[in-house]
Structure 1
Amino acid sequence: MRLIFMGSPDFSVPALHGLIKAGHEVVAVYTQPPRPAGRGKALRRQPVHEAADALSIPVRTPEKLRHNEEELAFFQGLNADAAIVAAYGLILPEAILNAPRLGCLNIHASLLPRWRGASPIQSAIRAGDAESGVCIMQMDKGLDTGAVILSEATPITATDTAGSLHDRLAEIGARLVVHALTEQPTPIPQDDSRSCYAPRLERKDGQIDWNRSAVEIERQVRAFIPWPGSYTLLEGQTYRIGAVTLPDEAETAALIASAPAPGTVLDDRLTIACGTGCLRIDRIQKPGRAMMDRDAFLRGTKLTKGMRLD
């Protein structure tokens, strides 16, 4: 088929490669413009931009598509059979959605309608979902509300982070979109009553609320790896948390028998009281230093029983 591909981050790259490998003609790639990144804030191209260049596919980087008549005319002039969208980052106006012969198909990293929105992977882990997956969706003008063409589930393990689940879902999405184009099954409308919203995340969302249960905090830490990360405050300084574990029931009962305030350091092993239960910090990063394991951290930082984290 004659396709337009629209994507930006690493998640999108396997799908682009998969479509090319399957023999489809990708006539143009749309991606977000280069953005400042790193310490020097030099402009950095999106991963999809780099991949498209390596494949010698023309790249378009409009700042917006809404009220952009010039870009709409160009898009329509491509005469595409379909547009494949994977974490592109711009809202597609209705004229763009309707331009390809088969419309626009979205690779969405959730078992719709479970998580609609910008952070479905993080939201699934944080909520304690047993599984996640990918849906190939026929896009409409709503937010992830279109009919589902194909879907595939994958379990969320007790050790999954957003990073590990992201990589798995990206590979599933690449395979599934090729099948969707080949098989063209009948789309199935979503049940809107079962939908949840996965909001766009910011760095400030990573601050740990020690009033929450230990189980919820442990899920947050995994859900926010690699981004936006989780952190806590100690004496006004920010400490990033890279990994935590939950003590067993007997140890937990002994440690919280005195009903310590949430955020209290309970022992010399970085065990912290939570709103319900407690957890143990396994990896932590002090300001200006690299992430380190608990023992290395405690050799250089005095964090005594009874101190409080915010």
Structure 2
Amino acid sequence: MELTLLMVILVVSVALIFDYTNGFHDAANAIATSVSTRALTPRIALLMAAIMNFIGAFLGTEVADTVGSIIAEGVEGEGNHGLTVVFAALVGAIVWNLITWYFGLPSSSSHALIGGLVGAGVASASTVAWATVVDKVAIPMVVSPVVGFTGAFLLMTGILWAFRRSNPHKTSRHFRLAQTVSAAAMALGHGLQDAQKTMGVMFLALLAGGYVAADDGIPFWVKVSAAAAISLGTYSGGWRIMRTLGRRIIHLDPPRGFAAETTAASVLYVMAMGFGAPVSTTHTITSSIMGAGATKRFSAVRWGVARGIVTAWIVTIPAAALVAALTYYLVAWFLP
């Protein structure tokens, strides 16, 4: 029992480390557009994003329930073995987060975590809820970027038509102020989505250790600690990825930044509250930026950079799954 308790503490701690890396890895999702258009200074934007991340974490548990259900049946009451599976999943996600952060690629922390859970589950011969993976991960993974791109393109087209006779400088100034609201909404959606994913993994650790039952609610201390970790990570910043999202894909003006953030935030809310789907904030905001930018002209978007980002998206789940599988085999070999 003492070893199991120590492993629960270890896995929960690693989950919070993942949550922190998620925060600094995905900080750019919430603030890159508002910083690049000079709607907000970097530090003010980061502080606002951290606060909204914290608040967003308490808006529901639908996403946490989905993440936890992926391998819950395989680890429930399994003690050290189940905890090893969860630990390996987290290592796979963290390693991939650090690799893509180092190269400035806005890959998905969410899909790295999903890949880690699936990879560790398969390697350990644990039960994986494949129907949940397909219905609430794979399908939304494809749908959310398409909706983000299309929605931002249509919203920006509507803005251009509505303000076609307005003074461009005055319009830009107004949208710079509006971006403060849209950036806050985006950060709130990030907390709603990504902090809950860590809650789901922490719940898995408690489930494996026998400290909660599958039908129990998520403990309040789990919610607070996950919200705090992602907020601290967000405030520490993610400057490499911020440059990619804010400058290298396309140079945004305030109206396009507003359109991208508003669309992305809407997709995050609907997917979380309506479907409990753990979609990628990175995929959603990146595709929305591309959709809003394409209203200038399609050639204005740097499609070469976008192609590299899409490649990282495709590779993320299998790469994180592979690292998680190898980690499981290594740890399982040492444990009694």
Q: Same fold (TM over 0.5)?
A: no
Q: With structure 2 as the length reference, what TM-score do the two structures score? A: 0.25
Q: TM-score, normalized by length of structure 1?
A: 0.26
> Structure 1 or 2: larger strand share?
1
